[in-house]
């Protein structure tokens, strides 16, 4: 049982790291291409799709990261 708990903890940590790196990469891209991204997403009209897609992509990677992050710290829901 102890082994399986340690294994689960290890898996959570690995996933947190993987999604954390992906999330960090996305924010770096946003920082480095700030002006271009802002200009592209604020064109209006059919370009409305750009902020929506960006929001979905960020929420997928960063959402998974934050979930695993609290799991790694042992902060979990009451069963």
Partner 1 sequence: MELTTATNFIPLDALDVTYLLVVGFIGGLVSGFIGSGGAFVLTPAMMSMGVPGIVAVASNICHKFPKALVGAIKRAKYGQVDVRLGIVVGVSAEAGVLYGAHIQEIIHSSFGDAGSNLYVSLAFVIVLGIIGSYVLWDAMKTRRATGDEPEKVSRIARWVQSVHIPGTMVYFKSLDARVSVLFTIPLGFATGMLAATIAVGGFIGVPAMHYILGAPALMASATELVTAFVMGLGGTIKFSWSGLVDIRLAMIILAGSLFGVQLGAIGTTYVKAHMIKLVMGTIMVLVLFSRALAIPVYLSELELIDTLDPHLSSALLNISFVVLIAALASGAAIVFAALWRGISASRREIALAGTAFAPDVVATPASPQLSPLGRFERFLLATDGSEYSAGAVREALRMAGKCGARVRAISVVTGGDTELYAMGEQLITKELNTARAHLDDVQRQASAAGVACESEATQSNQVYQEIAAQAEKMQADLIVMGRRGRHGLARLMVGPSTVRVIGHARCNVLVVPRAAELVGRRFIVASDGSRYGDAAAVTAARLAKLCHTPITVVSVTRPEHSKERKREAHQIVGRIVSFLKQEGVVVEGIVPHGRPDEVIVQTANAKNSDLIILGSRGRTGLERVLLGGTSERVIDQARCAVLAVKSA
Output phi, psi for 8, to 5 deg. Answer: -60, -40
Tokens of 63: 């959402």
Closest separation between CB of residue 55 and partner 1, Å? Answer: 5
Closest separation between CB of residue 36 and partner 1, Å? Answer: 11
DSSP-derived secondary structure for 46-62: GGGHHHHHHHHHHHHHH
Angle, CA of 66, 15 and 55, to the nearest 5°: 45
Query: Residues 1-40: x/- map of binding to partner 1 (CB under 8 A)?
Result: xx--------------------x---x--xx--xx-xxx-
Question: Can you give the binding site for partner 1, defined by CB under 8 A?
Answer: 1-2, 23, 27, 30-31, 34-35, 37-39, 41-45, 47-48, 50-52, 54-56, 58-59, 62-63, 65-67, 69-70, 75-79
């Amino acid at each position: 049982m102890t082994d399986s708990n340690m294994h689960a903890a290890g898996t959570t940590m690995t996933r947190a790291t993987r999604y954390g790196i992906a999330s960090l990469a996305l924010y770096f891209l946003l920082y480095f291409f700030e002006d271009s991204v802002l200009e592209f997403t604020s064109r209006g009209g059919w370009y409305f799709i750009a902020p929506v897609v960006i929001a979905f992509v960020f929420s997928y990677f960063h959402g998974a990261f934050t979930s695993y992050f609290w799991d790694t710290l042992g902060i979990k829901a009451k069963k």
